[in-house]
Structure 1
Amino acid sequence: MLTIGSTLPPFDLQAVVSVDAKNAFQRITDRSNAEKWKIIFCWPKDFTFVCPTEIAAFGALNSEFAERDAVVYGVSTDSEYVHLAWRKQHPDLKTLPFPMLSDLKREFSTALGVLHPREGVCLRATLIVDPDNVIRFVSVNDLSVGRNPHEVLRVLDALQTDELCPCNWQKGDAVLEPT
């Protein structure tokens, strides 16, 4: 699995960005939004139970990530058509403000090292990638355990200070000063 200091691998994936059939799809690459921080989170499968709770929670925080010059990308191994059908069907996903990327060939999740070896789906991996495409944070949960998007936002805030941030540090708190 890629870790802190690794470079985000190249990718070029079809994404669902809307439920409007005329504008539903868009290509997203590792060069998209090159000047921004990237929050990339992977989930196992569409039309499941834990996944929409996480996706909706990232969606609810999307404007806060945007305020911090970050874009959010959600990724699974489902096709863009399955993503679109799920967004149209699930009330919490209809107005999702970020792209749902389709890693149908499993190349991106394999390059990240987050493909479950037996199930062949993404683990619940979360990465924070800086504008230079360097991975600065990685977290992976078991398939059955949802993650905390507020913690991802807190870590992004800490990384953007470029300072030493103690345990449970929150934006606005004092940072550590080495003596």
Structure 2
Amino acid sequence: MSTYINTEIKPFNATAYHNGKFIDVSDADLKGKWSVVFFYPADFTFVCPTELGDLADNYAEFQKLGVEIYSVSTDTHFTHKAWHDTSDTIQKIQYPMIGDPTGAITRNFGVMIEEAGLADRGTFVIDPQGVIQIVEINAGGIGRDALELLRKVKAAQYVASHPGEVCPAKWKEGEATLAPSLDLVGKI
């Protein structure tokens, strides 16, 4: 997956379910702001609603950072609406839920499980230029944590706005960063 880091997202067009409406979404919508594209295997499953609900519970924090969340599965936008209408957890979602029934977007990001026609649990953080800064892929049975994702987004935003600085392991907003230099070699 490292080949996706620092690459521009590929063009796509799709329909999403968002706040009671079907909307068009394209790669252009991901540019001009920070975005998280959050792939998951399928609607009406088990781990997926826990992840999407966790993102919904923390959505306001992402919004404060100017970050839009886009969840994506190979289900249709109609299925997303049906799931939204029938699940208390999914009803909390205020971010766009993109339908990718052809798998085009899922393949663009390299997370298609071809034999199943489903997406891996892939998370992509994209900067305002449309360049992928973070890639994370989890096995199907391992759910993701929105607060850990939020920490990583903050680190990516910090590094982008502070050239010459990097965030060490477990960095949290407000903590010390590093300025790589010859003087630091062998001293950490």
TM-score (structure 2 length as normaliser): 0.89
Aligned position for 2:5: 4
C-alpha distance in structure 2 between counterparts of 1:26 and 1:153, whole Å = 26
Larger radius of gyration: 2
C-alpha distance in structure 2 between counterparts of 1:43 and 1:85, whole Å = 17
Question: What is the DSSP-based 3-state SS (H/G/I as helix, E as strand, rest coil) of the residue aligned with 1:55?
Answer: helix
C-alpha distance in structure 1 between counterparts of 2:37 and 2:57, whole Å = 15
For residues 166-177 of structure 1, what are the structure 2 equivalents within 5 Å?
166-177=168-179
Aligned position for 1:32: 29
Shift of 1:28: 0.9
C-alpha distance in structure 2 between counterparts of 1:32 and 1:50, whole Å = 28
The 4+ residue runs of structure 1 with deviation greater than 4 A are: none
For residues 3-152 of structure 1, what are the structure 2 equivalents within 5 Å?
3-19=4-20, 24-152=21-149
Q: Which amino acid aligns with 1:30?
A: D
Shift of 1:70: 0.8
Number of residue pairs the alignment of both structures matches: 175
Cα offsets for 1:31-87 (capped at 9, x unmatched)? 115311011100001000100000011111111111111100000000111100000
Question: What is the DSSP-based 3-state SS (H/G/I as helix, E as strand, rest coil) of the residue aligned with 2:56?
Answer: helix
Shift of 1:118: 2.0
CA contact (8 A) 1:36 1:69 kept: yes
Please list every run of 5 or more consecutive structure 1 residues that lacks an aligned counterpart in the other structure. none
Shift of 1:100: 0.3
The answer to which structure has the higher helix fraction is: 2
C-alpha distance in structure 2 between counterparts of 1:61 and 1:10, whole Å = 28
C-alpha distance in structure 1 between counterparts of 2:28 and 2:108, whole Å = 16
Shift of 1:104: 0.8
Comparing 136-145 with 31-40, greater Cα deviation is found at: 31-40
Question: RMSD of the TM alignment (CA)?
Answer: 1.2
Of all paired residues, the percent bearing the same amino acid is: 34
Cα offsets for 1:119-162 (capped at 9, x unmatched)? 11000000000000000000001111111121111111111111
C-alpha distance in structure 1 between counterparts of 2:148 and 2:116, whole Å = 27
Shift of 1:116: 0.8
Question: What is the DSSP-based 3-state SS (H/G/I as helix, E as strand, rest coil) of the residue aligned with 2:118?
Answer: coil
Q: Which amino acid aligns with 1:34?
A: K
C-alpha distance in structure 1 between counterparts of 2:106 and 2:68, whole Å = 19
Distance change >3 Å, CA 119–CA 33, structure 1 → 2: closer
